Amino acid sequence: MKSRKPEDVGEVRVIGIDIGKDTFHLVGFDHTGHRVLRKKIKRLALKATFETLPRCIVGMEACMSAHFVSRMLRELGFEPRIIPAIYVKPFNKGQKNDYNDAEAIAEAAMRPNLRTVTEKSQDQLDLQAMHRVRSRLVARRTATINQIRAFLIEQGITVRAGRHRLQSSFEAILENRRDEISSRMRSTLLGLYGDWLWVDERIKALSSEIEEISRSEENSANVMTIPGIGPLISTAIVAAIGKGEVFDRGRDFAAWLGLVPRQFSTGGRTILGRISKRGNSYLRMLLVQAANVILMRPHRWDAIGLGPWLRGIVSRMPHNKAAVALANKLARIVWSILRHGKKYTVVGDETLGAI
């Protein structure tokens, strides 16, 4: 790209923003592809700066505060485009620096067929934050439990697998093995157990709040009528994709979740491998868990309208492969429910709720 004087921004067509914690780097191009803007600004000066610029396309990578910046620019009359980082990378050239990153974002934003990230509302961001906090707390609880088990094994004490088994026998172990466990180790174990109980309460509080939201939010309530899907999955999906407008069909949503085979085709030959595992790993994990719940209850398959299809895949696939295939089908159903604003129904039967 050729460049003109940085202050000549009368015909700017697209601006790329490299978003930082305290500073933003802007690079803009006009309709002929010449660079007409190259500027570094403070975060607090973002609104004042863009108020002086002509209305145009503004590209930014999907990162922290991108949705906030996008909403602010849209209110000013700009056309913001949030671009996944993987789609910006091919346009990077030269050394790695903020201005080159902003230039690559601007070039990517000009591509007419580039898939962008849907701008999230504040409610979606709030719900997504709740899920991320809950996920972190669950991981912290698991780490705490594993550490308690490890310390007990160091004392020659093993407990059967399962969180509830350890919790129900923990106090009895400390009492019965009082002579074998030192007072210092006992104090350490009690401290870890206290951490475990505190995290448990935080998880329960967040889960209750998420469940309450799922009942009051229309899209979440509709998604929960799908077999196997409850408050946690429905709210996570709505927080991530809203009504699914960014996807043209259910298969695109399943592909975004990484639930379709990885393709390596050439010369007219279609070569499919394992699932791609691209996109949102959290949603993929939740949908696979829902699929496993359904597979554990074959007596319900006909009632939920999936009996013949499920018996067919179970007869010819290993369990894990069947679970992924069912998760793919659930993802497509979810997209259809969100796009059409309807509930899951079975022909000849009433609307069914989540298992």
The pTM for the full model equals 0.84
For residues 250-269, give the mean pLDDT: 87
Beta-sheet pairing, 12-19 with 57-61: parallel
- 188-217, pLDDT tens digit by residue? 999 999 999 999 999 999 999 999 999 999
At 11, the pLDDT band (50, 70, 90 cuts) reads: confident
Residues 89 and 102 in one domain: yes
Residues 212 and 277 in one domain: no
Please give the order of strands across the beta sheet that includes 57-61.
35-42, 23-30, 12-19, 57-61, 79-83
Residues 212 and 226 in one domain: no
Residue 161 lies in a domain: yes
- 21-70, pLDDT tens digit by residue? 999 999 999 988 889 999 999 999 999 999 999 999 999 999 889 999 99
> Mean pLDDT for the chain?
90
For residues 219-229, give the mean pLDDT: 93
Residues in the chain, overall count: 355
Exposed e or buried b per residue across 55-83, where buried means at least 16 C-beta atoms within 10 angstroms of its C-beta: ebbbbbbbeeebbebbeebeeeebebbbb
Query: Which amino acid, residue 334?
Result: V
CA distance 176 to 50: 70
Amino acid 347: pLDDT: 63
- 294-345, pLDDT tens digit by residue? 999 999 999 888 999 999 999 999 999 999 999 999 999 999 999 999 899 8
Residue 6 lies in a domain: no
Residue 346 lies in a domain: no
| Spatial contact of 236 and 261, defined as CB atoms under 8 Å apart | no
| 3-state helix/strand/coil string of 222-281 | HHCCCCCCCHHHHHHHHHHHCCCCCCCCHHHHHHHCCCCEEECCECCECCEEEECCCCCH
Residue (of 237, 227, 233) closest to 296 by Cα position: 227
Residues 331 and 240 in one domain: yes
Q: What percent of the chain lies above the pLDDT cut of 70?
A: 95
Q: Is the pLDDT assigned to residue 2 strictly greater than 70?
A: no
Question: What does the DSSP 8-state code read for residue 209?
Answer: H
* Domains of the chain: total: 3
Q: Is the pLDDT assigned to residue 94 strictly greater than 90?
A: no
Of the two residues 9 and 262, the one the predictor is more confident about is: 262
At 177, the pLDDT band (50, 70, 90 cuts) reads: confident
Amino acid 349: pLDDT: 46
Q: What percent of the chain lies above the pLDDT cut of 90?
A: 70
Domain boundary among 190, 216, 242: 216
Residues 267 and 173 in one domain: no
Domain of 271 in residue numbering reads as 218-340
CA distance 169 to 162: 11
Residue 312 lies in a domain: yes
Q: Is the pLDDT assigned to residue 263 strictly greater than 60?
A: yes
Q: Which residues, other chains included, contact 176 with Cβ-Cβ below 8 Å and sequence gap of 6+? A: none
For residues 156-171, give the mean pLDDT: 91
CA distance 330 to 287: 7
Token reading at 216:
């009051």
Q: Which residues, other chains included, contact 52 with Cβ-Cβ below 8 Å and sequence gap of 6+? A: none
Residue 5 lies in a domain: no
Amino acid 308: pLDDT: 92
At 270, the pLDDT band (50, 70, 90 cuts) reads: confident
